[in-house]
A and B are shown apart, each in its own frame.
Chain A
């Protein structure tokens, strides 16, 4: 491909190639100090290409390809190139990751112990993770948590934080010095702006941590908190995993051990500030 950028996010190396300069420049700007893949060999390749030659110039539209593809994915216009690159990398993980049990969850860490937050899209995982990062937590990832079946440890995957719609303003205000990507308006999920994890989170990306608390946050309700029993947590996390079935017994062993040993709570919250306070209070109790 004409334009290429390689990077490593936690244990996973990517090579992203594109027909256009813009998406690669955007990646290079926001992932500037990320390491390269181990031994220079990526785990996954992403290709951002024009499905027809003229689509490179005329109303340029990006088709997302790579080692793993979704055959019916709609192309994205060139101004959403960074989003296309991020989606391409996510897709490789969701469809191709076999070493780690992949949980659709945000993870933050403090004092060597990790908090796993999972929930449906819009529950506020990314917003909460970003705001906790502002308050000194290490951001291990806002999208995928990588649970190692061999050790039970969570590995960081601190890709760009994907902030959507109202969360964009909330985090911009909380982190005026943050490094943000371009505002990508009118995507299939509304407005999206990416935030680069802070320097401490990037520097510590290779340090795994043990989960000591699991949270199911839910935005838009009066503050409430309730413990979630292990079996319910197990069901929810199998639903939040893209590769539970593919991992077979390794996934079963890793997930049953996680839910049997880590206390879980569901929290309802009306706004991000309340949620952060609830999380920190819960964390103190867990300590």
Chain B
């Protein structure tokens, strides 16, 4: 299964401190998220990806201390449930 970030302009992302505020224009909802959510959204932005591809992109772009496909899968599933990530 591949996942994709919302189209450009659907999210308004505002880093505050360790937390980032995200306004989801489609639903009008505000989300307050912690790492690795902003990083996941950024990694999915260029193109849809499978979980393995996403993990590789994250590992390439950030200092991933403990690359864990299972944990990433859980985070992505939460983002799909929130509507912040879609199944491609």
Contacts and interface: CB of A to CB of B under 8 A. Distances in A.
Contact of A252 (B12, B17, B18): B12
B49 to A, nearest CB: 28
A245 B28 CA distance: 8
Contact of A231 (B12, B16, B23): B16
Interface size class on chain B is 10 to 19
Main secondary structure of the interface of A (DSSP, over half): helix
Main secondary structure of the interface of B (DSSP, over half): strand
A260 B12 contact: no
B73 interface: no
Interface string B18-40: 11010101001010100000000
A235 interface: yes
A235 B19 CA distance: 11
A230 B32 CA distance: 12
22 contacts: A229-B16, A229-B18, A231-B18, A231-B21, A234-B21, A235-B32, A245-B28, A249-B12, A249-B25, A249-B28, A252-B12, A252-B14, A252-B21, A252-B23, A252-B30, A253-B12, A253-B23, A256-B14, A256-B16, A256-B21, A259-B16, A260-B14
A234 B28 contact: no
A248 B29 CA distance: 8
Given A249-B12, A252-B23, A238 B30 contact: yes
Nearest to B19: A231
B23 A249 contact: yes
Given A252-B12, A256-B14, A231 B25 contact: no
Interface residues of A, number: 14
Most buried by B among A231, A253, A259: A231
